[in-house]
Amino acid sequence: MNPSFLKATLAIIHKDLAAEFRSRELLTAMLSFSVLVILIFNFALDLNPDVRQTVTAGVLWTTFAFAGTLGLNRSMAVEKDRGCMDGLLLAPVDRSAIFFGKAISNLAFMLIVEAIVLPLYAFFYNETRIFQWEFIAVLLLGSIGYIAVGTLLSAMTIQTRTREILLPILLFPVVVPVLIASVLASGAIINDMTLPQIMSPLNLLIVYDVIFIAVSFMFFDFIVEE
Amino acid sequence: MISVTKLTKRFGLKTILRNLDFQVARGEFVALLGPNGAGKTTFLRILSSLSKPSYGTVKVAGHSLPNESAKVRAKLGVVSHLPLLYPDLTAEENLQFYARMYGLTHYASRITDVLQLIGLEPRRKDLVRTFSRGMQQRLSIGRAILHQPEIILFDEPYTGLDQDASSMLDDLLRSIASHGRTVVMTSHDLIRAESLATRFDVLSRGMITASINKNDLRQNNVLDFYKQALES
């Protein structure tokens, strides 16, 4: 990794965080949506302890996946609407630095939302097993895979007129392995299974993360050029 | 500084640029004139490495495109009708961000110099979203010249500017050109182009159909030259 690559990546992360903490547009949208989904599930589902234990992983990952698309769309729309994507592409750096910068910012926003939603979920559903370190590790691995694919695809869909509709249509089929593995692994942790028992979905998550980070690194340049 | 030979650009079945030849020497200020849809913006996007040629050879600042695009981008500044600025950052923060993206070190004094040149030093701590269109365009020029590029491309820089803002932009462009930089500017504003450029090229139907130096214009009338070039 050359110094300009690292500098450019850090510059994009710093810029995204500074702009977001000033405007709070993206985080507000993601958080409001997440809280509403958690509340709707709370009313819609039967809250006896057995059902709660079964649905926790599914409810959380559904919430994060849909809230994540809001963030991904908004994050790239900021670059596209005022021509800033051209500004980034005109910089004399490897264009995969743009991918890593945007992906790390998107991951930071998703993790902030998760950090706020988890205590709320624990409060509403009286479920404290989601604070185990294994659960947090699965959350991190799942979020990395989701954001790697999501950032790549949002860079593609942002160039279309129907970007808000197109992103989830393209993203969810591709990200299904991450969601299945994340739900399986998180569900198993909540149900007190041992580490060897959850290694299979964990391995799938790790492999998916590595593959999609590598694929994004290789193809981002082709995706953003005309 | 810029050498383009038999450039063709196609989007699907549609040909935007056909066998276009274009040469610009160091220090020239070329106004690229032409009707809407002539291919001016596409041509500037190819010169700035944002788009790839379908056929032909493009060399900018001694480097060929698209193979050496990063080297070309380091020597190029681009101003388009969009500001390429972040509204939730201050003027200073926008320039700091681009300075880092261009790998500049010790850029604080350079940012101050640029802000003074474009007349925005007193507003350096203000968010760009509070700026008028004219101020944003001046900051956009500041962004483009921050890394002291050898070549600057302007794509319709006067779009959406009122008279006062346009006059300020005239002064700024003259100042930039006086430093020996090579400039290519697309514009529909023939009067402004006439007052700034040293050469006028007309791009029509994807080709350069006419080219003339300012000194060779009859009675300095670029409008007659433009009309004749489109009719021919």
Best of A76, A86, A90, A221 to substitute, by most chain B Cβ atoms within 10 angstroms, is A90
Q: Where are the alpha helices (DSSP H) in A24-162?
A: 25-44, 49-81, 84-89, 96-125, 133-157
pLDDT tens digit sequence for B93-127? 999 999 999 999 889 999 999 999 888 999 999 99
Predicted local distance difference test score (pLDDT) of residue A47: 64
pLDDT tens digit sequence for A174-221? 999 999 999 999 888 888 887 788 888 899 999 999 999 999 888 888
Rounded to the nearest 10 degrees, the angle between the axes of helix A3-23 and helix A96-125 is 40
Q: What whole-number distance in Å separates Cα of residue B232 and Cα of residue B218?
A: 17
Residue B216 distance to chain A (closest CA, Å): 35
Predicted local distance difference test score (pLDDT) of residue A142: 94
Nearest-by-Cβ selection for B97 from A15, A86, A226: A15
Nearest-by-Cβ selection for B101 from A19, A86, A91: A91
Q: Do A226 and B45 touch (CB under 8 A)?
A: yes
Q: Provide the ipTM.
A: 0.90
Predicted local distance difference test score (pLDDT) of residue A3: 52
Does residue B162 carry a pLDDT above 80? no
pLDDT tens digit sequence for A113-152? 999 999 998 888 888 888 888 889 999 999 999 999 999 9
Does A94 reach chain B within 8 Å, measured CB to CB?
Answer: yes
Closest chain A CA to residue B94: A15
Nearest-by-Cβ selection for A7 from B50, B86, B100: B100
Overall average pLDDT of the B209-222 stretch: 78
Domain with CATH 3.40.50.300 in chain B: 2-75+149-231
Closest chain B CA to residue A19: B88
For residue A105, give both structure tokens. Answer: 């910012």
Residue A147 distance to chain B (closest CA, Å): 23
pLDDT tens digit sequence for B2-35? 899 999 999 888 889 999 999 999 888 999 988 8
CATH of B2-75+149-231, one of 3.40.50.300, 1.20.120.1630, 1.10.3720.10, 2.60.40.790: 3.40.50.300
Q: Chain B 89-128, CB below 8 Å of chain A: which residues?
A: 89, 93, 97-98, 100-103, 127
- Report the candidate in A216, A158, A189, A167 with the shortest Cα–Cα distance to residue A61: A189
Does residue A1 carry a pLDDT above 50? no
**What's phi and psi for B63, nearest 5 deg?**
-115, 140
Q: Do A83 and B82 touch (CB under 8 A)?
A: yes
